[in-house]
């Protein structure tokens, strides 16, 4: 009888140990899957899944209410119609940028150009017409995307391999020595 009781206790202990090991293994697998999904989302042009650029831009660009409040300040000397035009232009530019990045993601294009209009060349001195930016740069630095300030007419376009505006070829947009890009402050008008 004592032997039978000892065997039952040993079998019960082994069953509990097996259940504990199974729970530990399952917990570890769930953590590995979560880490893998983070890596996939953040793996640049080779990523299978990407989160929407819209969320990145919400954090990188000023809110519409903030822009409107700044435009309505007396020192800006703008009519309500002009304020509304600047706000509408800002929203249209953001929508165009989001559409272009999403189109690049769906087509597998990972390089983009920023077209600089003549009126923006003085304020956007960190850009050159030969520059391109990558999807990885956009993911890590969404503030690189236009618009940069109210009235900015810069446009984001897909960079096709056959596009080449000059004889010197394309050049990647490089950060300054501190690792940041010299994007203009948004509190100015074009």
With cut-offs at 50, 70 and 90, classify the pLDDT of residue 34: low
Residue 31 has pLDDT above 70, yes or no: no
Report pLDDT digits (tens) over 78-97: 999 999 999 999 999 999 99
Is residue 147 a contact partner of residue 123, using CB atoms and an 8 Å limit?
no
DSSP state string for 52-119: -HHHHHHHHS--HHHHHHHHTSGGG---HHHHHHHHHHHHHHHHHHHHHHHHHHHHT--EEEEE--GG
Q: What is the pLDDT of residue 39?
A: 44
For residues 173 and 156, the answer to whether their CB atoms sit within 8 Å is no
Angle at 89 between CA 86 and CA 92, to 5 degrees: 150
**DSSP class of 44:** G
Report the distance separating Cα 163 and Cα 88, nearest Å.
30
- Residue 156: per-residue pLDDT: 93
The domain locations on the chain are 49-172
Q: Which of 30-44, 112-126, 144-158 has the highest mean pLDDT?
A: 144-158
Encode pLDDT of 128-175 as tens digits: 887 889 888 888 889 999 999 999 999 999 987 666 656 566 777 878
Dist CA 82 CA 183 (whole Å):
24
Lowest mean pLDDT among 27-41, 52-66, 72-86: 27-41
Predicted pLDDT at 45: 47
Q: Is the pLDDT of residue 48 over 50?
A: no
Cα separation, 100 vs 92, in Å, equals 12
Query: Residues 57, 80: contact at Cβ < 8 Å?
Result: no
From CA 26, how far away is CA 43, in angstroms rounded? 26
Q: Cβ distance 93 to 100 under 8 Å?
A: no
- Is pTM, for the whole model, over 0.85? no
Residue 107 scores a pLDDT above 60:
yes
Mean pLDDT of the residues in the chain = 82
């Amino acid at each position: 009888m004592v032997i039978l009781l000892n065997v039952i206790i040993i079998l019960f202990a082994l069953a509990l140990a097996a259940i504990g090991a199974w729970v530990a293994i399952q917990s570890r697998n769930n953590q590995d899957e979560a880490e893998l999904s983070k890596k996939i989302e953040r793996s640049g042009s080779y990523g299978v899944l990407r989160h929407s650029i819209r969320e990145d831009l919400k954090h990188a660009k000023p809110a519409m209410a903030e822009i409107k409040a700044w435009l309505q300040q007396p020192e800006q000397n703008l009519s309500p119609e002009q304020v509304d035009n600047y706000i509408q232009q800002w929203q249209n530019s953001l929508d165009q940028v989001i559409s272009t990045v999403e189109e690049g993601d769906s087509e597998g294009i990972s390089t983009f150009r920023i077209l600089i209009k003549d009126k923006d060349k003085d304020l956007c001195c960190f850009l050159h017409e030969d520059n391109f930016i990558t999807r990885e740069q956009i993911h890590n630095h969404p503030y690189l995307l236009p618009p940069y300030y109210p009235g900015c007419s810069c446009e984001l376009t897909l960079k096709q391999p056959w596009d080449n505006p000059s004889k010197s070829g394309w050049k990647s947009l490089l950060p300054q020595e501190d690792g940041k890009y010299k994007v203009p402050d948004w509190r100015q008008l074009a």
